Amino acid sequence: MNAGASAANLLWLARSLPAARWFARAARDPRATQEAWLLARLARHATSAFGREHDFARIRDAGDFARRVPLTTAAAVAPWVDRIRGGESDVLACGRVSHLVPTSGSTGSRKLIPFSAALQEGFDAAVATWIVDLARQRPALRWGPAYWSVSPPGDPPADDAPGAVPIGFADDADYLGGASAWLVRRALAVPASVRHARDLPTFWRLTLSHLLSQRDLRLLSVWHPSFLDLLLQAADADWTGLVESLPAARAAELRRIGPGDWPRWWPHLQVVSCWGDQAAAPGFRRLVARVPHVLVQAKGLLATEAVVTIPYQGTHALAVTSHFFEFIDDAGEVRGAHALERGAHYEVVVTNGGGLWRYLLGDVVECTGHLGALPTLRFLGRRSRQSDLRGEKLSEPFVAEVLRSLWAEAATPAYHALRAWDTDAAAGYDLLVGGDHLSETFEGLAERLDAALGANPHYALARRLGQLAAPRVLRVPADYGAAELAAAAGRLGDIKPEVLIGARAGSG
């Protein structure tokens, strides 16, 4: 048992219990919880420039809020953020903006998200609820250190405006702040300082040196499952040097195990947390099979702007105590969190209390059921991610469901995604399949894919008219997702599982 990490974990859990109890009460009446949360934030930020413009002081309920405040986007928020960056105070919300957090999201262009103590409260409430629930499932989690993946080195964000609010975070624990961040850092297996490594090889070597020295590791929290693939590739490439740098007893143990059997490196490992939806699902299932004694848990739906869902009691529950949520259904109607129907799809709208009001997050979710009255959700994809090469209008949520239908769960390949291609002469889609097993010929798979995509009438028409070529199936390396991850710039937390790549609007 690691005494220092254990003490920090126990203190963090004790500090997290009130938030977890609040969440359990809120699950019984999400409508009242959400309205109370909203009215408290409207009062708190009524004297901000945005609050005065939209008359927050006169808003009395959620319906009034929806009538007075329009739905907004990142583009609409940008001029307000420019004012914050220029040094103006109390713009979108009252209180100090400590950082502007850069995120590319899934669209590629950079957005700057105001981060303040008010927003930090929302993240802290969600993480506190999650970690208490996790410790109840795996009590031994408390007795050792954890690895929380940090972003590897990259180009620092440009910040050339004099007097500007700083851009970026010192490290990922800053999302919690205060005592929680301090306690988390006390239990880290790898210090956040490794993100300052001068290059990727150095980053991997330092990360592995710390991780391999921690025989008592209890938690691995990464983003995409392929992050672990990259970590293991780096270990295999430099195994002898890594092992020889460790204390003698630990080095001897690891030499006996070797680089290929990583679960035995950490015999007390309790939990692996990573993305588990859409394009990350095959890698997630491989992890589940690889470490059957470990709880491999899919992360909730997270964004720089907000926490949407948290893993809770075996499902993914709406983070009802962290932010205020609205949901746009397929008919364009806006619903509250209490009014979601099982099986229906919705676009997420969030008010985060840190300066984003009725913000279109762009994520599409399915309501999978309820815990008490609290909805549980599954991430389907990005509303804005759509491919329209020849008028077919394929959305990522639709493509995700098509790909899920192609294989039985046990036969799902290690990687799959639909990639758009377009030339002057023709256009179409390739199904990228990573792995060594397929239950049928590529030709049969391509035909089934074509038929499934044909459920979209615009795609079916484009195929009948010859505007789109028949889809092709291409084999790629099983670690194709890891290679994409390695090539991606920016924070690893910005990377969400994507099953529709190369998507763009076309001429129709």
Mean pLDDT of 133-146: 94
Q: What are the tens digits of pLDDT across the range 262-307?
A: 999 999 999 999 988 876 777 788 899 999 999 999 999 988 899 9
pLDDT, tens digit, 9 for 90 and up, residues 446-504: 999 999 999 888 898 888 878 899 999 988 876 666 555 555 434 444 456 678 887 65
* Mean of pLDDT values over 31-55: 97
- 10 Å Cβ neighbour count for 58? 10
What's 282's DSSP letter?
A: H
Furthest-apart CA atoms within the chain: distance in Å:
70
Reading the block at residue 393, the tokens are: 């209008």
> Considering the chain, what is the average pLDDT of its residues?
85
Any idea what the Cα angle at residue 215 is, between residues 211 and 219, rounded to 5°?
A: 65
Our CA angle for 145, 281, 203, nearest 5°, is 45
Would the pLDDT of 320 be above 80?
A: yes
Token pair, residue 287, equals: 């992890």
Q: Does residue 197 carry a pLDDT above 90?
A: no
Q: Would the pTM count as exceeding 0.85?
A: no
Strands lying side by side in the sheet with 324-328: 309-312, 315-318, 374-382, 359-371, 345-351, 324-328, 334-336
Confidence of residue 160 (pLDDT cuts 50, 70, 90): very low
- Higher pLDDT: 44 or 278? It is 44
The two beta strands, 427-434 and 415-422, are antiparallel
Q: What is the pLDDT of residue 229?
A: 80
146-148, strands of its sheet edge to edge: 146-148, 219-221, 271-274, 295-298
Of all residues in the chain, what percent carry a pLDDT higher than 90? 53
- What pLDDT does residue 107 have? 42
Separation CA 470–CA 444 (nearest Å): 12
What is the model's pLDDT at position 106? 44
Asked whether the CA dihedral 23, 188, 6, 134 is positive or negative, the reply is: positive
The predicted-structure confidence for 85-127, as pLDDT tens digits, reads as follows 998 999 999 999 988 887 754 444 568 899 998 999 999 999 9
Closest by CA to 494, choosing from 302, 353, 272, 207, is 302
Q: Are the CB atoms for 418 and 403 separated by under 8 Å?
A: yes
pLDDT at res. 213: 95
Closest CA to 319 of 337, 335, 336, 304: 337
Q: Where are the domains of the chain?
A: 3-9+120-152+168-298, 11-118+323-382, 386-501
Q: What pLDDT, on the 0 to 100 scale, is given for residue 5?
A: 86
What's the CATH number for 386-501? 3.30.300
Residue-level pLDDT at 150: 65
Q: What is the pLDDT of residue 182?
A: 66
pLDDT tens digits for range 366-419: 999 999 999 999 998 877 777 888 878 888 888 888 888 887 665 677 778 899
- Report pLDDT for 193: 81
Tell me what percent of the residues of the chain surpass a pLDDT of 70: 84
Q: Which two tokens stand for residue 104?
A: 């590319």
